[in-house]
Amino acid sequence: MRGVGMANPYEVCGEFHVLTDTQAHRWCTTEFRAGRTTTERWVVWDKVAAVPQAKWVGPAPIAPQIAGILETAGETGALPVFVAYAIPFRDAGGASSGGFRSVKEYQAWAKSFARLVGAAPAVVLLEPDTLIHMPGLNAEQRRNRLSCLAFAVQAFKQHAPNTYVYLDGGDGRYNSPESLAPWLLQAGVADARGFAVNVSNYNTTGTCESFAVELRDLLGLPDVGFVVDTSRNGNGPPPDSYIRANPSTWWGNPPGRKLGDRPQYLGDANGFDAKLWVKLPGESDGPFGVAPHSSSSEFLPRVAHELYYGR
């Protein structure tokens, strides 16, 4: 089981690394230089930009994306959190489509990623949404996806011994533990730390924990752990009436959502390793909801501001 006989990165570091290259941080820096003093700017700076968040790493050259973070985190003794997000047919061609074109390209990238992290303590969430999309893929796409995930797990196990790797564990509400457990096992969860729940979603922490504990039991791996994305789940998901009115896009920038609990290591309580901010608050889900003219991952200070107040 991955995690036995290795350093626990949460305990080695004690605190999470705060990114200084997020869109929220850059927006605030620009506004400071312009001399503006608005409540919006204060909220974005203090309640979003200053909170530890995950660095999403795509298929571009790997070193420029993470080398500086590793160096800074090493100097301060903080724990960096990365999201590997470059798998072929990413997001099943949805709003966040992209990634590499072949399994071979992806595997080379994953190996480089793991080697670059090396012995540094780190957390890596491996390809959110990959396993929840499996039912809609054809047989070849499924094989390719599992090959990519299993290879990446082994690459980090071999080259990054102090990294905790978490596979896609679903949203905690609309995916059943019974459907995800077989895919997790085939993707190599036995050699990873565990799985991540609620990435870029809104489900309450309690709902996600109940789901994750059931999924953990089904896996039959007593040492497996899980993390929950709490970045935008402070008010839970949008009401059922909104979901019914927007059945295919309700997850995209729904109104009335709120920032959730700040990142926190929980000390492996019943397998619940940590609460993390994985989705960066204020970055759009695409041209939906309260941001109909935005593009996926575009930073919208108004949306970040509203997430603080929950309106």
The residues annotated with a catalytic role in the active site are 91, 129, 285
Contacts of 89 (CB under 8 A, 6+ apart): 97, 99, 137, 141, 144, 145
Let me know if 269 is exposed, middle or buried by CB neighbors in 10 A (0-12, 13-18, 19+): exposed
- Type of residue found at 127: E
DSSP state of 258: B
Calculated CA dihedral for residues 218, 228, 73, 63, nearest 10 degrees:
70
Residues 191/157, Cβ–Cβ less than 8 Å: yes
Residues 153/124, Cβ–Cβ less than 8 Å: no
The length of the chain is 311
Going from the C-alpha of 284 to that of each of 25, 84, 112, 150, 171, the distances in angstroms are: 16, 19, 29, 30, 18
Q: Where are the alpha helices (DSSP H) in 118-195?
A: 139-159, 177-187
Residue 233 has phi, psi (to 5 degrees) of -105, 20
